[in-house]
Structure 1
Amino acid sequence: MEFVGFENPVFATYAIAASLMALKVMGQGWMTVYRMLKSNSGLASPEDLQVGLINKNPDPSQLELNDYVDRSRRMHRNDLENIPAFWIAGLLFVLADPSLLITQLLMYGFVVARAAHFVAYATRQSHEVRATFYTIGSLIVIYMSLHALFVLLT
């Protein structure tokens, strides 16, 4: 069977999960921009204070930390720290020819864990709640990596 192709249901599962995670990463960036525009604050760089079509009346206070904007940046940074490892481990896992059921449980489990992490962060849940969802996603990536290594080395 061809491992990398949409006719392989294991690879198709990976492609769906990887695409959803790509949309999550990109969407989080847009959410940050939306929050900056909505609050007219939380700008990241001094050059953002130049007069322009969007920022007609720049003010130095726009560079001050704004938790509404920064919370979105922190969520984005967390995605960038976790999702690329999923993309790599997931593809290697597919190449190890796992069963479809375990692939679906792991890959969609990761997507659900990242979605739950987003909700927990966006709604200001405790660190323990966020850490629970992070841990689930992290263990999934670790398992897929170890599984691929085991298959490769045996």
Structure 2
Amino acid sequence: MEKDDHVVEPSFQILTLQNPQFATYLIVSALLILKMNALILLTIYHRMKNKVVISPEDAQFKEGTVVGSHPDVDRVRRAFQNDLENIPAFLVIGLLYLWVSSPDWAVHTLYYLFFLARLGHTLVYAVYVVPQPSRAICFFLGFLILEYMCCHVVVYAILKGYHGH
């Protein structure tokens, strides 16, 4: 092996329930997915309540049902779409962030704040409609947390990965 070769075995000590940061990641990830699933159920509820279905074959099962949409259904679907644009990114960067040696309080704060931002976004947009800037505040709080974690991972990887040995 040459002098500059550096072999590092992956450290999976981070991925254990003895690590409170990983436990927080598991909890927040599960809560975010449960929240998304709640939006699926809310979409179904609004479709049934307003007697609208997405395809003609679905309309055959209930008389008086029309193919189309409804503003309530569309609103919940937009909230779900927004979750699809944000939550998978958290699931990835949240896991990577566990390797940057942040203190427990920082990880717990960022992860739970992200969850609260996404929950707030759903509540003020799809459940109890509240005028702007409430939705924008919730969205940008979550967005800024994701951006911070991404930048932190990149900087940490550059400093420790390339220059840390």
- Structure 2 length as normaliser, TM-score? 0.82
Per the alignment, residue 56 of structure 2 pairs with 46
The structure with the larger Rg is 2
Establish whether residue 33 from structure 1 lines up as the match of residue 44 from structure 2: yes
Where does 1:87-102 land on structure 2 (aligned, <5 Å)? 87-102=91-106
Out of 119, 122, 133, the position equivalent to 1:118 is: 122
- Structure 1 length as normaliser, TM-score? 0.88
Contact 1:10-1:98 at 8 Å conserved across structures: no
Per the alignment, residue 88 of structure 2 pairs with 84
- Whole-angstrom CA distance in 2 between matches of 1:87 and 1:126: 29
Whichever structure has more helix as a proportion of its residues is 1
1:63 Cα deviation (Å)? 2.1
Contact 2:121-2:139 at 8 Å conserved across structures: yes
Higher relative contact order (CA 8 A, sep 6+): 1
- Whole-angstrom CA distance in 1 between matches of 2:34 and 2:21: 20
- Whole-angstrom CA distance in 1 between matches of 2:78 and 2:129: 12
- Whole-angstrom CA distance in 1 between matches of 2:101 and 2:33: 23
Identity of aligned residues (%): 33
- Where do 4+ consecutive residues of structure 1 move more than 4 Å? none
Contact 1:3-1:97 at 8 Å conserved across structures: no
Structure 1, gaps ≥5 residues long: none
Q: Which moved more, 1:118-127 or 1:70-79?
A: 118-127
- Whole-angstrom CA distance in 1 between matches of 2:117 and 2:64: 39
Provide Cα deviations, 1:3-61, integer angstroms capped at 9, x if missing partner: 111110111111111110011111111111122112222x2223322x23xx2x154xx
- Whole-angstrom CA distance in 1 between matches of 2:47 and 2:69: 11
Per the alignment, residue 20 of structure 1 pairs with 31
Tell me the number of residue pairs that the alignment of Structure 1 and Structure 2 aligns: 147
Out of 134, 137, 143, the position equivalent to 2:142 is: 137
- Whole-angstrom CA distance in 2 between matches of 1:129 and 1:13: 26
